[in-house]
C-alpha cells in the first residue's frame, strides 16, 4: 500500500527549515572542501537515505569518513573507515553551537577541515560562527520533510531511469535546499556572459532539470512561499512558456521562468507518484522537443 504523502505547510515549520538549512550548508561545505571536483558541482551535494541525508564517503588522506543526518533518530552521525563514530543530537541549538560542536567532533576523530563559514544562496547571510538567530527544531516537521524527500527521491529515480543520455544523480543541493535531477542533451550551451563561476559551470551544457523545493526560497529574486515541484530548461527554447503540460494544475511561472506544480496538488492526487511522473515527463517532452534534442537516441 502506498504511503500517504504528508502535508508540509511552510508557515508551520519556517524557523526549523531556516535552521536545518544552515546545518546542511555547514555539512555540505565540509564535503566540498575535501572532495575532488566533479562537473556541474556534483561533488558538493547530499543524498537522500532511508533515514535522512548523507554526504556519502568523503576522502581524508588514506581514510574516508561520512556525515549523516538521521532525521528519524534526530542525530548527526559521523563515522569513518576505521570503525570509529560519533553522534550529535539534533535538537534546539544555534547554528553557532552546531558549527562548534561538529568541528570539535571531527577533530576528535582526527579530521581537520576549514570551510568558508558564510551561508550561500540566502538573503542577509550570517556567519555560522556567530549565528545565534537560527535555533529552532521541530521534530515532527523534520520527519515529515524526510518522508517527502524519500517519496520524491523514489519518483525522481524512476524518471531518471528512462533516460539513456548523461544525467545527474538524484541529489540534494544544500545551497538552495532542493532535491533535483538534471538531464543533458550532450551539447554545450552558449556561454553565459557575466555569470559567476558557479553558474557558468552548472550550465556549461544544455540541461532540462526537475526538482522539489519545500518553499521559503528566493529564485532570481522571486520568493517561493509554498512547497513546489519545478522544471526548467537552460537555455530555454523559444515558445516553451506556451506549451501545454500536465497535470492540469501545473503551469509556467513567468516570474520564475519555470514550470511549477504545488506539492499539495501532487500529494492530493489519486496517485501522487503518477501525477509527479506526469509533470516531469510532460515538461521534459515539451522542452526537449522545442530544443531539438535527439530524443530517439536519448530515451529508453
The answer as to whether 66 is a domain residue is yes
Q: Which residue has the cell 516531469?
A: 280
Are both 104 and 155 inside the same structural domain? no
Give the residue among 3, 258, 52 at the shortest CA–CA distance from 174.
52
Q: Which of 130, 148, 180 is the last residue of a domain?
A: 130
Supply the DSSP symbol for 232.
E
Residue corresponding to grid cell 508540509: 8
Residues 153 and 279 in one domain: yes
Nearest to 287 by CA among 184, 192, 172: 184
pLDDT in tens, 57-93: 999 999 999 999 999 999 999 999 999 999 999 999 9
Residue 2 is assigned to a structural domain of this protein: no
Query: Do the domain assignments include residue 4?
Result: no
Domain count, the chain: 2
| 47/156 same-domain check | no
- Residue 34: C-alpha distances to residues 61, 107, 112 (Å): 10, 15, 10
pTM, entire model = 0.96
Q: What is the mean pLDDT of the chain?
A: 96
Please provide the size of the chain in residues.
300
Shared-domain flag, residues 294 and 150: yes
Extract the C-alpha cell encoding 153: 527521491
| 278 and 158 together in one domain | yes
Spatial separation of the C-alpha atoms in residues 164 and 141, rounded to whole Å = 37
Both 120 and 153 in one domain: the answer is: no
Q: Are residues 14 and 120 in the same domain?
A: yes
Q: Does 1 map to a domain?
A: no
Is 256 within the bounds of a domain?
A: yes
- Helices in 161-262 by DSSP H: which ranges? 197-202
CB 151 within 8 A of CB 275: no
Owning domain of residue 173: 139-298
Q: What contacts 282, CB < 8 A, 6 or more positions away?
A: 245, 246, 250
Q: Do residues 178 and 230 share a domain?
A: yes
First to last CA, the chain: 28
- 117 and 197 share one domain: no
Residue 164 counted as domain residue: yes
pLDDT digits (tens, 9 = 90+) for 191-202: 888 889 889 999
Q: Tell me: the pLDDT tens digits for 134-162?
A: 999 999 999 999 999 999 999 999 999 99
147: left (phi over 0), alpha (psi -120 to 50) or beta: alpha
Cell numbers at residue 297, please?
A: 537516441
Residues 56 and 100 grouped into a single domain:
yes
Amino acid at each position: 500500500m502506498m504511503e500517504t504523502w504528508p502535508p508540509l505547510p511552510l508557515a508551520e515549520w519556517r524557523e526549523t527549515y531556516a535552521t536545518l538549512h544552515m546545518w546542511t550548508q555547514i555539512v555540505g561545505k565540509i564535503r566540498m572542501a575535501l572532495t575532488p571536483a566533479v562537473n556541474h558541482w556534483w561533488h558538493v551535494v547530499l543524498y537522500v537515505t532511508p533515514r535522512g541525508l548523507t554526504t556519502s564517503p568523503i576522502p581524508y588522506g588514506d581514510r574516508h569518513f561520512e556525515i549523516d543526518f538521521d532525521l528519524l533518530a534526530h542525530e548527526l552521525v559521523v563515522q569513518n573507515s576505521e570503525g570509529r563514530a560519533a553522534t550529535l543530537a539534533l535538537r534546539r541549538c544555534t547554528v553557532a553551537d552546531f558549527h562548534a560542536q561538529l568541528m570539535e567532533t571531527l577533530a576528535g576523530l582526527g579530521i581537520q577541515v576549514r570551510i568558508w563559514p558564510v551561508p550561500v544562496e540566502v538573503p542577509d547571510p550570517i556567519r555560522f560562527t556567530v549565528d545565534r538567530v537560527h535555533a529552532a527544531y521541530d521534530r515532527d516537521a523534520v520527519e515529515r520533510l524526510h518522508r517527502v524527500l524519500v517519496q520524491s527521491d523514489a519518483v525522481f529515480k524512476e524518471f531518471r531511469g528512462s533516460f539513456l543520455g548523461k544525467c545527474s544523480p538524484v541529489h540534494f543541493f544544500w545551497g538552495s535546499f532542493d532535491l533535483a535531477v538534471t538531464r543533458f542533451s550532450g551539447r554545450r550551451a552558449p556561454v553565459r556572459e557575466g555569470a559567476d563561476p558557479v553558474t557558468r559551470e552548472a550550465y556549461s551544457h544544455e540541461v532540462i532539470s526537475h526538482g522539489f523545493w519545500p518553499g521559503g526560497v528566493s529564485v532570481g529574486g522571486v520568493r517561493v512561499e509554498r512547497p513546489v515541484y519545478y522544471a526548467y530548461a537552460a537555455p530555454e527554447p523559444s515558445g516553451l512558456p506556451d506549451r501545454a503540460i500536465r497535470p492540469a494544475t501545473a503551469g509556467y511561472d513567468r516570474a520564475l521562468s519555470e514550470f511549477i506544480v504545488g506539492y499539495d496538488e501532487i500529494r492530493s492526487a489519486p496517485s501522487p507518484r503518477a501525477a509527479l511522473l506526469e509533470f516531469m515527463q510532460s515538461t521534459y517532452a515539451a522542452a526537449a522537443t522545442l530544443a531539438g534534442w535527439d530524443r530517439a537516441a536519448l530515451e529508453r
